[in-house]
Structure 1
Amino acid sequence: MSKAPRPVRADGEATRGRILEAAGRLIAASGFADTTSKAIAAEAGADLASINYHFGSRGGLYEAVLAEAHRELISVDTLRRIAALDEPPEDKLRRIISGLVEAATSHEGWPARVLGRELLLPSVHIRVLRETELPPKLAIVLGVLSEITGIPPGDPALFRCFISVAAPCAMLVVAGRSLSILGEDFIDMPREVLVRHLHGFSMAGLAAVGREYRQSKDAAPADQAGDGTPSAG
């Protein structure tokens, strides 16, 4: 007779949460390389075996911390809600930028500082962001950018637009208080001013790229002769 599956114990989930939170705080302060499993366990009020039980290894714990930090920065659910709003795509982009600025410049919490460290000095563990966290979020943001520019998803030009829009927000994450001498200049800047600037800057660039894309598509037929060779003109 087979045994019934063991139910997930609430105290086990609580222990996992404490370990994740403790690891996030310590790694934000000291970095992954200088944060030991022993220190994390002590901070969480757990034993060392709990780390392996819940996360498989110290590296597995760090990947869980990175994934949680990325979700705290901006979640798939938040992006889906924004994308589904009945409003112009320009306003959707502003909401996305606003959420990123809010999370990146927050004076409290460890997620932005953990991500800042990892982006500044990437480790092999960044793969968890590339493989699990980023793809669904990227697809949603590319959809919004496609609405703004008229460039279809899958076109390399649209991905370049994403890089241009996302890079300043990533810089804010990297420019944390403990990571850059410029950190306070960014973090203490009024958030609404920063959001307005980043949104306006992004929209100007997207408009220019979208216009160039449309012009190239309109010009393509005229540049081809009837026999498939470039026209003399």
Structure 2
Amino acid sequence: MSKTSRVLRTDGEATYNRILDVAGCLFASAGFAETTNKMIATQAEVDLASINYHFGSRNGLYQAVLVEAHQRLLSIERLQQLISTPLPARDKLRQLIQHLVQSTIGEQGWHATVLSREFLAPSSHLQSLQQTEIPAKLPFILNILSEITSIPVEEPALLRCLVSVVAPCAMLLVVGPNVSPIAAEIHRMSQQDLIEHLYNFAIGGLEAVGNSRLTC
């Protein structure tokens, strides 16, 4: 590869990432409907053609922002790293919950707000997550839950366990601190206290479900 080609590729990646980050910030603050390509181009210091070149359209850009937001919330690389550790499944679950809490209410960028907006008022663009990020990550989490409960991954009962574990963490994402006084109070709580509560709540339910299958 020539030096010129390397420079062009580096510049293109930098432009792509700058547009993505600016768009994420604007979608988070104003929402998809109120954010125009012109606003994004102005803040990213690019021309309008650059958005279409890198993302195809504003819809394509928004879908790329959703995917990036989900990756910042929980990346496949993080899940792969967690699964590959020799830790017991219960410790893996604790680390997973810790990561989700820190990604939703800790120090964060625009990703949590963008996802919160989309989950509260789903659009057709949510399919970009349902078709890519979510199916790719589910097997890792199901593997952890299967280890704890001894429920085979393919059984529907494990999906019910998944909902019970993930839903409380998802609520932290959806219910932002400005939604209600109760939500604000939760967001002011110690992260460690929240992590321990969510973990104990999850592990108690998982163990109960696993034990009930043994006694049937």
Return the alpha-carbon distance in structure 1 between the equivalents of residues 178 and 92 of structure 2. Answer: 31
Aligned to 1:160: 160
CA contact (8 A) 1:175 1:186 kept: no
Aligned: 1:184 with 2:184: yes
Q: For each residue in 1:109-134, what CA deviation from the matched residue of structure 2 results, as whole angstroms up to 9, or x when unmatched?
A: 10011101111111100111111101
Return the alpha-carbon distance in structure 1 between the equivalents of residues 176 and 23 of structure 2. Answer: 18
Residue 66 of structure 2 aligns with an amino acid whose one-letter code is L
- For the structure 1 residues 11 and 178, does the alpha-carbon distance in structure 2 shift closer, same or farther, using more than 3 Å as the test? farther
Aligned residues: 212
Return the alpha-carbon distance in structure 2 between the equivalents of residues 116 and 197 of structure 1. Answer: 22
Q: For each residue in 1:175-229, what CA deviation from the matched residue of structure 2 results, as whole angstroms up to 9, or x when unmatched?
A: 123555544222211000000000000001001111122233xxxxxxxxxxxxx
CA contact (8 A) 2:178 2:184 kept: no
Return the alpha-carbon distance in structure 1 between the equivalents of residues 59 and 156 of structure 2. Answer: 34
Return the alpha-carbon distance in structure 1 between the equivalents of residues 124 and 181 of structure 2. Answer: 27
Aligned to 2:21: 21
Aligned to 1:172: 172
CA contact (8 A) 2:97 2:199 kept: yes
Residue 16 of structure 1 aligns with an amino acid whose one-letter code is Y
- For the structure 1 residues 196 and 6, does the alpha-carbon distance in structure 2 shift closer, same or farther, using more than 3 Å as the test? closer
Which has the larger share of helix?
A: 2
Aligned to 1:226: none
Q: How does 1:21-170 map to 2 (within 5 A)?
A: 21-170=21-170
CA contact (8 A) 1:89 1:147 kept: yes
Q: For each residue in 1:24-46, what CA deviation from the matched residue of structure 2 results, as whole angstroms up to 9, or x when unmatched?
A: 00111111111111111111111
- For the structure 1 residues 155 and 112, does the alpha-carbon distance in structure 2 shift closer, same or farther, using more than 3 Å as the test? same
Q: Once the 2 structures are TM-superposed, how far is the Cα of residue 61 of structure 1 from its aligned partner?
A: 0.3
CA contact (8 A) 1:76 1:137 kept: yes
- Computing the radius of gyration from Cα coordinates, the structure with the larger value is 1
- For the structure 1 residues 27 and 177, does the alpha-carbon distance in structure 2 shift closer, same or farther, using more than 3 Å as the test? farther
Q: Once the 2 structures are TM-superposed, how far is the Cα of residue 7 of structure 1 from its aligned partner?
A: 8.3
Deviates more, 1:127-136 or 1:182-191: 182-191
Q: What CA RMSD, in Å, does the superposition of the two structures yield over aligned residues?
A: 1.6
> Any unmatched runs of 5+ in structure 1?
217-233
Return the alpha-carbon distance in structure 1 between the equivalents of residues 130 and 147 of structure 2. Answer: 24
Residue 210 of structure 1 aligns with an amino acid whose one-letter code is G
